[in-house]
Chains A and B, each alone.
Chain A
């Protein structure tokens, strides 16, 4: 796909090239604007509070999606993200309960470290046992959920006040939710340096052609583990954000694993690996959340909302794979 059309693309103007390379992203942004207009139409009262709620409600899924995107780009898939978030969330909530605000900083750092360890275990198992990523992470999802139940048997614990304040309200202007700023800062601090580095290039390389990457000197095993470690870190941040936004820790995994896969695919990352980025999936998260908000506005049955969610998941992946088939067989 990249080699042959590259000659033709080189002759076109820069703007056309950029548009062509980012067709999917342009389409997504178009869909997002259409949805925003639609939301405003069906609910004229949708304004500041709506945007602020949107910022807070997308945060856990957005962090899970960044985690999933990194693993999927590296050619794997992580079905244990929801469980990792549950585990890190209950650990954070249980440790912060009844403790000082300062101690909560230690807890947050500790939970981030826990996410890194969990990611290393996932990645290490996938690399050293040579069992397919799907099987390893599906099995580990039960292990991490089991540990979450051992930490807290029922929803409980507490969150430090500064952590709650960090995510609620807005910054600079009323239109910029604090949660969105936190999300952008976190992603910028962790992912942008990585993606510009040798590691980021290696992650894309092993995702698009593992054998070729190996023969060009990429340490495939180490890179895969690094991708899972990054995913574990982002999942832990997602878990902390769950504790911060709900004020408690819940030992039952939320729907984040599945929804993150849907958002990643909708965001233009190929499930085959090696293609896509972080920005597209984040736009997809906003779109998915807006669809849910709109269904609430239209007084739709919540069970039908589950159905719609399944249909969107399947539909998006279907469109993605049809495009994939077309691309590989022109």
Chain B
């Protein structure tokens, strides 16, 4: 169960000391502490704002972000990155909004997800077979997807677009007036991803390829197949996040999710997944997405403009990545 020799056993018992060891082996514990600190800070600044409905708003925003961050997490594990998630997610939301009037909800969801899967397949072939650097491949793919979405927008401009009410409910509605409805979509996805990474051979292959590509090839792993499947999964996840985003904002726009690409990278980095591959997991990423959403809310409460938010996010990524690099390099 513990995987191949040389594969990092991410579930090994803790055998280290102090905060440094904690950050290395169980990053989720200090991260939850940081999250509580941030909520406490908001409560100090504006006690009236921390309410159950505020928590609902935070969770509804964090859910699509954490799904995009999951795309980054699984691609980071292999030493890759997926910067096309913004374009793919915007595309699926826009597709559904424009198609639902003609085809009904089911078929339009299916068409949107197939388009996402096709984009993921091409990305996967580029990365896995042609060994294009994932960063370049996904940036190029996001240009292609964005351009084609724009062409589609020109074709569909006469028919008008509207986010279907079912998606609006899933994205922004709630069950029994308190539980965000998007948890219905989010929970099964995260459970599946968690099981995939921890309990399946495919999940272990992701860690293996990221940790040592040569060793995993010699051990018989066909990395190109793993990578093609990986980028298809990532694109499908981004597609689902796009539905939730469209439902949350009630906007159909080909640029809707673009501004969430860097935050999704940031959430995965903060969550303790190494961009060099082989180390990390979904749990930390979810907390990372919550931290970023709460931080964003704190900066809004303090009255900072968008520009300052960007500077903060960038600085946090460098700082957190530096902290992780420091503690893991000395182990």
The interface on chain B, measured as residues whose beta carbon lies within 8 A of the other chain's beta carbons, has a size of: 44
Which residues on B sit within 8 Å (CB–CB) of A136?
318, 321
Q: Are B135's CB and A134's CB within 8 A?
A: yes
Which residues on A sit within 8 Å (CB–CB) of B269?
135
- Does B113 lie at the interface of the complex (its beta carbon under 8 Å from any beta carbon of A)? no
Q: Which of B126, B131, B275 is A134 in contact with, Cβ under 8 Å? A: B275
Report the number of A-B residue pairs with Cβ-Cβ less than 8 Å.
135
Chain A min CB distance to B123 (Å): 9
The interface on chain A, measured as residues whose beta carbon lies within 8 A of the other chain's beta carbons, has a size of: 43
- Does B308 lie at the interface of the complex (its beta carbon under 8 Å from any beta carbon of A)? yes
- Does A30 lie at the interface of the complex (its beta carbon under 8 Å from any beta carbon of B)? no
Task: State the CA gap A147–B133 with chains docked (Å).
Answer: 29
A-B pairs with lowest CB-CB distance, top 10: A310-B143, A306-B147, A129-B322, A146-B310, A149-B307, A307-B147, A146-B311, A143-B314, A142-B314, A303-B150
- Does B317 lie at the interface of the complex (its beta carbon under 8 Å from any beta carbon of A)? yes
Closest residue on chain A to residue B276 by CB atoms: A132
Q: Are B307's CB and A139's CB within 8 A?
A: no
Closest residue on chain A to residue B142 by CB atoms: A310
Q: Are B139's CB and A258's CB within 8 A?
A: yes
Which of B140, B307, B308 has the most chain A CB atoms closer than 10 A to its own CB? B140
Chain A min CB distance to B39 (Å): 24
Kindly supply a per-residue 1/0 record for chain A positions 117-157, scoring 1 wherever the CB is within 8 Å of any chain B CB and 0 otherwise. Answer: 00000000100011110111011111101111110000000
Which of A138, A150, A258, A301 has the most chain B CB atoms closer than 10 A to its own CB? A138
Task: State the CA gap A308–B146 with chains docked (Å).
Answer: 11
**Known contacts being A304-B151, A310-B141, is A139 close to B126, with CB within 8 Å?**
no
- Does A236 lie at the interface of the complex (its beta carbon under 8 Å from any beta carbon of B)? no
Closest residue on chain B to residue A145 by CB atoms: B310
Chain B min CB distance to A300 (Å): 11
Chain B min CB distance to A13 (Å): 35
Which residues on A sit within 8 Å (CB–CB) of B148?
303, 307
Which residues on A sit within 8 Å (CB–CB) of B307?
146-150
- Does B29 lie at the interface of the complex (its beta carbon under 8 Å from any beta carbon of A)? no
Q: Are B311's CB and A147's CB within 8 A?
A: yes
Closest residue on chain A to residue B308 by CB atoms: A146
Q: Are A130's CB and B325's CB within 8 A?
A: yes
